Every structure is written in C-alpha cells, then in structure tokens.
Amino acid sequence: MISDLLEIFLLSIIQGVSEFLPVSSAAHLIIASNIYEFKNQSLLIDISLHLGSLLAILFYFKEDIFDLNKNKNLFYKMSHFHQGVHN
C-alpha cells in the first residue's frame, strides 16, 4: 500500500516536471516505471496523471479562461489577423 502511494507520488512529480518539456511526458512515465521497476503501470494511473496536469493548468489560468470579455477581444483581433487585416 505505502509502496503503491510512493510510486504514484513519484510518477506525479515526473509528470508535473516533464509536462511542459517538448517531448512526451508519457514517455517519461514509462521510462521511470521501467527504471525503478514500478508494478503499477496501468492506463488508469496514466490518465489520472494527465487529468491532474489538465486540472492544474485550468486552475492556474482560470482568470484568463473565464474572463469572457478579454477572450472575445482576443478572438476578434486574431480573426482579423488571419484575414490579412493587420493593425
């Protein structure tokens, strides 16, 4: 039980650190699991780790995501930019 929690904790740290590197964070999880001979290599753990990353990103950017007025203005500017209307 304790070893399972330790494995998940270490994989969570690896996921958090490697999520924003320009290589696959899933590959880091597989490599770490093989190096340390972790027994818990289930798809559910991988999905949970990635879901945790998504929730952390949403929490960090919550003000930017939910500021609809700012997002509307940004979308308006980007749509004009892609149509060739540069200000």
**Which one, of 61, 30, 60, lies nearest residue 45 by Cα?**
30
Give pLDDT tens digits along the chain (87 positions). 678 888 888 888 888 888 888 888 888 888 888 898 887 768 888 888 889 889 988 898 888 777 767 777 777 776 766 666 555
Q: Does the predicted model carry a pTM greater than 0.75?
A: no
Integer-rounded Cα Rg, in Å, for the chain is: 19
Q: Tell me if 32 sits within 8 A of 14, measured CB to CB.
A: yes
Element (H, E) at 47: helix 43-60
